Amino acid sequence: MSMLSFTRRGTVFALSTLALAACGGASDSDSTSTNSGTNGGEGIVLQDVVFGDPNAPVTLVEYASWTCPACLDYHLRIMPTVKSDYIDTGKVKLVFREFPTAPANIAVAGFAVARCVDDAEYYDVLDELFMRQDAILTLARQGGPVVEALKQIGANHGVEGDDAFQACLDDQTNRDAIRASLAAARGQGVDATPTFFLNGEKMDDNARISPVTFTAALDEALGEPASE
């Protein structure tokens, strides 16, 4: 997938724990606290990842995880159409929010690397993470060199060397950004991935079954007749 136009914008949210959800299913009972210290009563700035024209008439918010097979399915089958017909044409802007699913430590590490690159390359890293999802999760199941695989993805996008990679994982701003994204998800009742909101309204989960049903919802939001 070619690069999307990228910007970041901030909104304040508070969050004390990193909560997990089952990919494409109900909320997982497990949650894990980060080791980044306490935030007390301070808010965390939500650094939204925004693709497309920031003034587009329709806003599509996607909560997703690159370790989620259902998210990969959407990324492969539907996202290319959404990009070419709606985002690239200025009709829709996409707000991508990280919602790490199991294995959480791997998902968070990948997202941290994506947030370490130049802004315009965030989606390029995300795209590569999705494309290598099966290989990396297989390594994880087999006790293989997952860290080396993630380091290679980082190196492909300018995060070169052990020190630079570790700095991405340790960066407090990256960790806070991911935690704030999860806070936004919890505030909207998100408990599974992928979950979409169209102009602030949660989309029917069945919408992501096919490009036809998904784009029909976008057309309705745009006030346009459904595509034939």
Q: Domains, the chain, ranges and CATH?
A: 7-221 (3.40.30.10)
Cα–Cα dist 20/48, whole Å: 19
For 79, the 3-state DSSP assignment is helix
- The whole-number mean pLDDT for each consecutive block of 10 residues of the chain, a chain of 228 residues, reads 48 41 39 30 72 95 96 95 97 96 95 89 95 97 96 96 95 93 94 95 90 96 75
φ, ψ for residue 182, nearest 5 deg: -65, -35
Contact present, 176 and 111 (Cβ < 8 Å): no
As beta bridge partners, residue 195 has 63
The pLDDT value recorded for residue 19 is: 40
The pLDDT value recorded for residue 211 is: 93
Cα–Cα dist 182/98, whole Å: 7
Alpha helices in 119-210 (DSSP H): 122-131, 133-142, 146-156, 162-170, 172-187
The pLDDT value recorded for residue 25 is: 36
Contact present, 106 and 136 (Cβ < 8 Å): yes
The pLDDT value recorded for residue 46 is: 85
Contact present, 153 and 132 (Cβ < 8 Å): yes
H or E stretch at 28: strand 27-32
The pLDDT value recorded for residue 119 is: 72
For 37, the 3-state DSSP assignment is coil
